[in-house]
Structure 1
Amino acid sequence: METQQNQVLNPESLAALEFWVQKTATKLVQVNGQRKYGGPPPGWNGPAPGPGCEVFISQIPRDVYEDKLIPLFQRAGSLYEFRLMMNFSGQNRGFAYAKYGDPQSAAAAIRFLHRHELQQGAQLAVRRSTEKRQLSLGDLPTSVDQERLLRVLRGLSEGVEAVFLKCEKGGKKNTASVHYTTHYTASMAKKVLCEAFRKKFGITITVKWLSFSTKPRQDEEDQGEMSPTLRSFPKPPPKPRPQPPRHALAPPDAMALLRRVCELFKVGAPLYDLQYLHTGSNGFLYFAYRVVIPDIPLPFTGVAQILPGTSAPTLRDEVQRTAAERVLKCIFQA
């Protein structure tokens, strides 16, 4: 085992990290497969950063550590937190998260450090973190109600913001989407909820990210794809209502217009992240949307209320169109 570890780890890199930690008195804390700096760091006086302040860093050489990464990313602005994902061997897993005090610093990190050559032939990839905050809980007993589940989850994990319980008709199990205040609290909950439910209630549940992506990234377990794929959308009604041809009454395509506006201002193509929340008593489907435009610091978020369509792609298009219309209003409002 020792021989294998020596082959994996670079002694010079480890020595440089240890020297840097002692010289700068930097405190690094190992927590659940990641090594964390800050959150907040010493001397931080302001509030915790809000949305749009975190970047995702990938393609990190496996023998590069915080002594190289933290000073580099501090050039873009004051770091609130830096998390490097680690293997049990002591080797990094090739990706990390840097959270800044404001969205402008995060945007600067993407602008100046994306494709930065850390070593010869090794360029970093830096992009905005989607900061996923929703978990999907499966195999819940049918006897549980939404309010009780909310109380239970708040007792087992920190940062629970809201719970939406989905009761399957005729099913033996229920599912729920749980919204957390931060990506970090959601990530920590994801690691402990299965075992907590097994110990406290003697039941086995499933816990996964609430995501509509069908192709997760290879080097990244926490970072979600900004994908409009609606794998988890509710099944459409079996007898769709007839509708007039779209060309007869369809308004101008808001998605195409938003894409064109982004091209004109050279801010990058809009990316849509859509998540089904629940079905209202009025029959409407409620979806949370998040539209990220790469060179605009903060994402556009909201909730869309949609009538059931004939298929999942139709629902996807309808939610995206509604989101695009809202974004255009925000951009052009007086």
Structure 2
Amino acid sequence: MAGMEQGSNALTRKLLDLMERSGYPIVQHNGQRKFGPPSDWLGPPPPKGCEVFVGKLPREIFEDELVPIFSGMGKIYEMRLMMDFSGSNRGYAFVTFTTQAEAFRAVRELNGYEIRPGRHIGVVKSVDNCRLFVGSIPKTKTKEDILQELSKRVTGIVDVILYKNCFDKKLNRGFAFVEFESHRAAAMARRALVPGCVKLWDQEVMVDWAEPEPQIDDEQMKRVKVLYVRNFQIETTPDTIQSLFESAINNKIERVKKIYDYAFIHFLTREHAELAMAKLQNTEIDGSVIEIRWAKPVERELYRIQKLKRGNAKFNNSLDLSQTLLLYKQHLAKKEYANSPKEDEGIGSVCSSPTDVKPFGSTPPKDNYYTLAPAKLDAMCKRYMWAPPVYNYSKYMDASGAELWVARVELPQVGMPLLSVPRRVGPLVTQPCLSMQQSHVEAAQNILHCIQMLHADVIQRASPALQPVYPSIVPQMQTCVSPYDYSSIYGRPPTTIPVTLPTVWRTV
């Protein structure tokens, strides 16, 4: 007991000496001890990206040892050491520097630092997420409409990022990203916008954390020669884009990679990219105003693994750093990326999600017309490690001699997280289509709809409340070329339950 008291007194003297030397206050509150901010600090706190997470700390290490180590990387704004009731630390801390460059340096030089013989700490960038994903937004709403509606219920909104529909620029894609002034403001907004309790425009919306943007070192960003350009028309060709940008810089560009309504444009020099951005920002191309930003370089293999495990727009199921790196090494050992480039061209400066699919009408689609339904299905199978979809096509001739295409698609094995026992879904058959491409897209749409219905059926079966079953009073319309027994997917329907209807219904 006397030894513990002496140790406590010695630590107190060390912390008092540290406060006197540095001029920083030290305050313990709510299970954490804060060192800083400096008393002479003027203005707002450092911007996002200045905080690092420190893990694997020995329990007997405190600020008197940590501050000298991390202050060698730059000026510390604040250090938060997590404490337990016994007086030892909980093995981790957060350190906020005054600049992002200092935080990157701390990660680069102190990750793996041997703080005790045989004890190495981990230092990674802290995910200070200030962005929410808002889904199920009416597609006719504008950015101003969303900002006005959300501001009635939450505070601290900095920006609303809204994507236009690929096929109709008057509509949005049904979702938006909302940027807040701080992580706390975003967390409070997420708590306030609980689905089922709050409605926007008289309908429920889905609100969750957006996938955090990757933080790239300023020095690395200064070397980027790739531009991310979005809001193109679907029919705008890569050749048109290349010609426009080459005319703007009066020089050749390396290549253009167009994906749906956005593109990555690779330049031969950084100066060419800067000139193109200055000249073509907010330029109208084929009736649509484009937006240009620097592409953020990402490690292709690691990014694919993280996306596979994390899903789109959410990261609540993401792996921690050690698990991600272990999985990364396993993939490299299997040489799964032997033919992949070392570094991808990157991602845009804002997160994106798959666009909605435009329904087909009687007019045949253009040759360069395509939708995201097959891509969404492929991404879902890869994300959940299901077997890929299998497509089969048949061509027919109608009475007028026109060619008609029918697609047949099935998923050989659908399992977790949708089903605990893997099951085959399909085959599903499309309506006659005017092209093989159209039948391919409609087949993917059909299987996505089937998965959605299967998901709803799983939730209903898991619900303790039993819902009454009523016989259908409207005959179902046949939508497939040939009938198919769906009982393998949903189970055979129960026998019709006789229901006594009110008198008013019996007289109709």
TM-score norm. by structure 2 comes to 0.34
Higher RCO (C-alpha 8 Å, min separation 6): 1
TM-score norm. by structure 1 comes to 0.48
Which has the larger Rg? 2
